[in-house]
Amino acid sequence: MIYLIRHGQTEFNRDHKLQGRIDSPLTALGVDQARQVGAWFAPRIAAGGAWRIVASPLGRTQATARLIAEAAGLGGGFDTDERLIELSIGSWEGLARPQIEALRPDLAGQPFFMHSPDGEPWQAAAARLGDFPAEHAAGPDNILAVTHAGAGKVMRGVHLGLTLEEVRHLDVPQDAVFALTPGAIERFDC
């Protein structure tokens, strides 16, 4: 089974800035969120089976994966997979909502997801992130995939066969786990 997890809150999240591939450290709340997710997994991991954590290469997911591993009883080890990296949002990286709305008044009050003029296109993101669950679904391991808001939306959308417009409106909690099963996704709040 694949469990999809978003990194804990970062300074950019707290300050309402879009990150994309710019990195920002976890806040105290983000550290606590990661530990809570790990604590949620601890009894499941203790019950047995093969468990593995795989994270995006960005610092915020690496820190989250390390904290989850420790709290879940998996030591501190995890793997890194480039496919789990956040979507590039080009020139919008580091901007806050008012700055983007000044550039694109038509998006006021709307999701910014996949609207960046020089960001990663939907087709590329869907291909990259759709491969990950397909590759791991048949394996014996339970995979904890630590990724990002945009990347997680794409992965869930591809998994469920959603349209881009439907994917734009998916939530992106930092204190929940999404279990991907064939044709379905179950959310667990931590």
pLDDT of amino acid 164 = 94
The proportion of the chain whose per-residue pLDDT surpasses 90, expressed as a percent, equals 85
pLDDT at residue 27 above 90?
Answer: yes
Of the pLDDT bands very low, low, confident and very high (cuts 50, 70, 90), residue 77 is confident
Q: Which of 100, 56, 48 is nearest to 78 (CA)?
A: 56
Q: How high does pLDDT run on average in the chain?
A: 94
pLDDT tens digits along 85-130:
999 999 999 999 999 999 999 988 888 889 999 999 999 999 999 9
Q: Token pair of 118, please?
A: 């020089």
Q: Where are the domains of the chain?
A: 2-189
pLDDT at residue 17 above 90?
Answer: yes
Q: Any idea what the Cα angle at residue 124 is, between residues 118 and 126, rounded to 5°?
A: 120
* 16 is annotated as an active-site residue: no
pTM above 0.75, yes or no: yes
Of the pLDDT bands very low, low, confident and very high (cuts 50, 70, 90), residue 131 is confident
Per annotation, catalytic residue among 7, 136, 148, 159: 7
Instruction: Residue 189: count other Cβ atoms within 10 Å of its Cβ.
Output: 9
Instruction: Report phi then psi at 6, rounded to 5.
Output: -90, 145
pLDDT of amino acid 37 = 98
pLDDT of amino acid 135 = 85
CA 26 to each of CA 12, 30, 63, 76, 144: distance values in angstroms, whole numbers, following the listed order: 9, 5, 8, 17, 19
* 7 is annotated as an active-site residue: yes
Fold adopted by 2-189: Rossmann fold (3.40.50)
Per annotation, catalytic residue among 11, 86, 165, 169: 86
Please answer whether residues 7 and 67 qualify as being in contact, where contact means their C-beta atoms are separated by less than 8 angstroms. no
Q: Determine the average pLDDT of the residues in 56-78.
A: 94
